[in-house]
Structure 1
């Protein structure tokens, strides 16, 4: 399914829509096959694992390290066991076991504080199904919660990420091109002034 940005740009709008829809469907199927559900903001990742309703905290093994996670029911194979895609702040991360009303299951919720709170994760555990981070659109309310400097950095990062995915110039490359155009214009004007003086 992986196209280069050039190949993607060469597609018609209709072909892009069909490609994006197929990619979203494939991604959703892969994510549904994981033994957990997850979502993220720039600063944290939340993982949910469905468990039998008779499970107690003492029945669980949850080991959160800065680079890995292990979740298991005592005496059983691990539900999750692997290296994180990126590092976390283990001492600022936590888990809770929640009983769901009118349900035959409980839910283990794990909140991970990202070590680098300025990037999207493409997966939680290395080797697990990945998402396309270029398609992430954060909630405006979350973006507006950021201070001006951080918000500007995040917006620039998002612009650059989308531009690179589309094979287009990043904001820095656009600034350089703009500066070069200004220089060319100034050089042309100086050249004209020199010709007039001669």
Structure 2
């Protein structure tokens, strides 16, 4: 197909985009990371500041972090809503001074954010490599559902009945035992 980039050209373009994205993110007055469930923002400030010197506001759809009377480090609309009651900020002493840490708990825990505030440069969320989660990280109900799906998948692969099909067979056997007078020779399962 003429006009399609070669794998080398695509790789070069991806590398250029990644370098541009990294430069834009490095220029921000804060660093940020995210998981599928939350966003963490850190801002290094001078050690002389205390919590009372800060102006930090967290709302469902906006974030502001500033030293009172100074230009904010971050001030804008969030791309997606957060759970305000589950979101926090702290001021901690670190080797380079002090660090403001803001933890934002996402409402929709099934999407990646392209930026912390909508006025900031975006990252390419399609390039995010999610961390592998372990079954033990899941809550009981979700874990049970995933384990059942994995079991059913293995059963199908080896041509054996899934857990639901096994339950039906067990119920049929129990019913047969309770009703020996009935003829099940022509019964079809479906």
TM-score, shorter chain, exceeding 0.5? yes
In structure 1, the residue matched to 2:137 is 145
1:31-180 to structure 2, matched below 5 A, reads 31-101=25-95, 103=96, 105-141=97-133, 145-146=137-138, 147=142
Q: Within 1, Cα distance between the matches of 2:2 and 2:85? A: 44
**Relative to total residues, which structure has the larger helix share, 1 or 2?**
1
Map 1:172-191 → 2, pairs under 5 A = none
C-alpha spacing 1:144/1:19, structure 2 compared with 1 (3 Å): farther
Unaligned 5+ residue runs, structure 1?
Answer: 1-5, 152-198
Q: Structure 2-normalised TM-score?
A: 0.69
- Distance (Å, rounded) in 2 between the aligned partners of 1:81 and 1:115: 20
Task: Answer 1 or 2: higher relative contact order, Cα 8 Å, separation at least 6.
Answer: 1
Q: CA deviation at 1:55?
A: 0.8
Following the alignment from structure 1 to structure 2, what is the Cα–Cα distance between the partners of residues 19 and 128? 22
Structure 1 length as normaliser, TM-score? 0.67
C-alpha deviation, 1:143, in angstroms: 8.3
SS in 1 for 2:18: helix
Q: Which residue of 2 aligns with 1:13?
A: 7
* In 2: Cα distance, 1:53 partner to 1:124 partner: 25
Compared with structure 1, are the counterparts of its residues 126 and 144 closer, same or farther at alpha carbon in structure 2 (3 Å cutoff)? Answer: farther
